[in-house]
Amino acid sequence: MIEHRNPHESVMQQATAVAHPNIALVKYWGKADAAQNLPAVGSLSITVEGLATTTTVRFDTALDADRFRLAGREEPAMARRVSACLDELRRRAGSSLHAAVESGNDFPTAAGLASSASGFAALVVAADAALGAGLPRPELAELARRASGSAPRSLYGGFVELALADSGRRTECRQLLEPAAWPLAVAVAVTARGPKAVGSTAGMLASERSSPYYAAWVASSPADLAAARAAVAARDFEALAAVSEASCLAMHGVMLATRPGLVYWNGTTVACIHLVRGLRAAGVPVFFTIDAGPQLKAVCPPAALARVRHELAAVPGVERVLEGRLGEGARVVAG
């Protein structure tokens, strides 16, 4: 935390944090309690460096309201969600100061690349440091989870589980493996750049209301989580591939059966699915996962990354391929 005094005697407390997006291998889709943003299912993810959000939070006695800028532009719609998250942090830290928040994502926002996860993870870590609150990471994880269900997973590095606890009344986020313990790589095939038509929050509420497969999806999640947890503990790539693709496709089945149907894929996404499956059948260790957007994420050992990247880049419609390795959780970088 840095405390500054300017000539007008306003007091500023500032810190900057970096967070990486995470990619769920066992998916979160659905809320047990929308007001508390309590997920209906647990989830298991990998945190991916190579993509990053950097957020600076400045609490300032001279401000009479919170401000939020993304990539240098005021974003009033996003600011409400940021403010709500800061309110909870201020309540716990006993502060009433307003904040100016400056953030940047070095990858497309709201396009299925988990900007909400890295965005809120960076926000809570920077705001906590700026206030000098020193809240324990599980408390920061709860604050992040209330803002976005995927966000607490970006507070931790490597393989991470967000588990339901107390019969689903709360969540517990924990690291399962450090990045170096099983250093997988990720290639992201970007197939469209614009923001998705239906955001995750609205999409999952619509699925809960109208998808006939929703209840079966929720019921099937604990078995997928157990299989993925066991695969991670055993570093069993084949087993992780099987459960990850199954969880992804089941989630998209729930989405497709929502009324009106949520079709997050485009033709290129489908072409990439077939490519990845073809590569695996030919002996290349790789599997895919896709979130609420048209980008396909291919997970593989680092030795296979160059081949996977090259093959994805050659699929007509793939605009570019981003790559990353497993990375660390959100951290303070200045202040």
Q: Does 266 bind ligand DP6 (CB under 6 A)?
A: no
CB of 117 to ligand DP6, least distance (A): 6
Q: Which does 43 bind (CB under 5 to 8 A by kind): ligand DP6, ligand ADP, none?
A: ligand DP6
Residue 36 is a binding residue for ligand DP6 (CB under 6 A): no
Q: Does 109 bind ligand DP6 (CB under 6 A)?
A: no
**Which range in 142-150, 175-183, 188-196, 209-217 contacts ligand DP6 by CB under 6 A?**
142-150
Per CB under 6 A, the segment of 144-152, 174-182, 215-223, 295-303 that binds ligand DP6 is 144-152
Q: Is 201 in the site for ligand DP6 (CB under 6 A)?
A: yes
| Region 1-60 residues binding ligand ADP, contact defined as CB under 6 A | 53, 55
Measured between alpha carbons, how far is 172 from 42 in angstroms, rounded to an integer? Answer: 9
Asked if 67 is part of the footprint of ligand DP6 (rule: CB under 6 A), the reply reads no
Identity of the residue numbered 269 = T
> Residue 70 binds which entry of ligand ADP, ligand DP6, none, with Cβ cut-offs from 5 to 8 Å by kind?
ligand ADP
| CA-based nearest residue to 257, from 211, 298, 225, 191 | 211
Residue 191 touching ligand ADP (CB under 6 A): no
Binding flag, residue 221, ligand DP6 (CB under 6 A): no
CB 327 within 8 A of CB 305: no
Task: Report the residue from 149, 157, 179, 327 that binds ligand DP6 according to the rule CB under 6 A.
Answer: 149
Q: What is the 3-state secondary structure (H, E, C) of the chain?
A: CEEEECCCCCEEEEEEEEECCEEEEECCCCEEECCCCEECCCEEEEEEECCCEEEEEEEECCCCCCEEEECCEECHHHHHHHHHHHHHHHHHHCCCCEEEEEEEECCCCCCCCCHHHHHHHHHHHHHHHHHCCCCCHHHHHHHHHHHCCCHHHHHCCCEEEEEEECCCCEEEEEEEECHHHCCCEEEEEECCCCCCCCCHHHHHHHHHHHCCCHHHHHHHHHHHHHHHHHHHHCCCHHHHHHHHHHHHHHHHHHHHCCCCCCCCCCHHHHHHHHHHHHHHHCCCCCEEEECCCCCEEEEECHHHHHHHHHHHHCCCCCCEEEEEEECCCCEEEEC
Residue 149's binding partner among ligand DP6, ligand ADP, none (Cβ under 5 to 8 angstroms by kind) is: ligand DP6
Across 285-324, b (16+ Cβ under 10 Å) vs e yields bbbbbbbbbbbbbbbbeeebbeebbebbeebeebeebbbb
CB of 246 to ligand DP6, least distance (A): 14
Interface with ligand DP6 (CB under 6 A), residue from 20, 21, 27, 272: 27
Beta carbon nearer to ligand DP6, 120 or 182: 120
151 burial via Cβ count (<10 Å: 0-12, 13-18, 19+) = buried
Residues in 74-113 at the binding interface with ligand ADP, rule: CB under 6 A: 78, 81-82, 103, 105, 109-113
Q: Is 116 in the site for ligand ADP (CB under 6 A)?
A: yes
| Interaction of residue 116 with ligand DP6, rule CB under 6 A | yes
Asked whether position 212 contacts ligand ADP by CB under 6 A, the answer is no
Size of the residue set binding ligand ADP (CB under 6 A): 22
Figure out which of the listed residues 16, 43, 45, 115 binds ligand ADP, where binding follows CB under 6 A: 115
Q: How far is the CB of 205 from ligand DP6 (least distance, A)?
A: 8
Q: Which of residues 289-318 bind ligand ADP (CB under 6 A)?
A: 293
Residues near ligand DP6, by CB under 6 A: 24, 27-29, 37, 43, 116, 148-150, 200-201, 291-292
Residues near ligand ADP, by CB under 6 A: 53, 55, 70, 78, 81-82, 103, 105, 109-116, 119-120, 123, 199-200, 293
